[in-house]
Amino acid sequence: MGDNFFDNVDPAVFRSYVFWSSVLVLKMLVMSILTGMKRHAKKAFANPEDLKSAKGAKIVLNDPDVERVRRAHLNDLENILPFFTVGFLYMFTGPSVALATNLFRLVAIARIAHTFVYAIFVIPQPARGISWMLAYIPTGFMAVQTILAFI
């Protein structure tokens, strides 16, 4: 190992990780906007102070459309945050640029697809399950590879 632990990370792998992680950060930020848009469209707000922003708005904590977007966002938190950690650690295992880039890309695209089929254009199963799995499996693979590299 070099003097600096980062000397062992291929710059192309690092760039790919940073790019696809940033795409996922933007995707998660969009989920907050999507939730707000759905709340305004349905006039279903969670806080009394928000009622002034839309005529006829009510406190509604269980609107199915708002809750669908919120569940998609929660699913992002459950799956994208672990990817950020394990993807970062995976870079230190010396993966090939092609493999690492394709794993990062697959996770990001699958998570974006998951949002589309779950919260935007609802498509019946197995679309959501497949898109979830296409991100979950590569994240798990990177976790296992990282564990094995650092045993």
Which CATH number belongs to the domain containing residue 115 in this structure? 1.20.120.550
- Supply the pTM of this predicted model: 0.90
In this predicted model, which residue has the larger pLDDT, 50 or 97? 97
Whether the per-residue pLDDT at 1 is higher than 60: the answer is: no
- How far is 70 from 74, CA to CA, in rounded Å? 6
In this predicted model, which residue has the larger pLDDT, 66 or 6? 66
Query: What Cα–Cα distance (Å) separates residue 1 from each residue in 5, 97, 114?
Result: 7, 19, 39
The pLDDT value given to residue 59: 87
**Torsion sign (Cα): 123, 65, 67, 119:** positive
> Dmax of the chain from CA atoms?
64
Angle made by CA atoms 30, 47, 43, in degrees to the nearest 5: 65
- How far is 128 from 13, CA to CA, in rounded Å? 29
99-129 tens-digit pLDDT: 999 999 999 999 999 999 999 999 999 999 9
Residue-number span of the structural domain to which 82 is assigned? 5-31+62-149
Please check whether residue 75 lies inside any domain of the structure: yes
In this predicted model, which residue has the larger pLDDT, 61 or 16? 16
Q: Which tokens sit at 86?
A: 């394990």
Please check whether residue 85 lies inside any domain of the structure: yes
Is there a contact between 21 and 106 (Cβ–Cβ < 8 Å)? no
The pLDDT value given to residue 55: 76
pLDDT band at 3 (very low <50, low <70, confident <90, very high): low
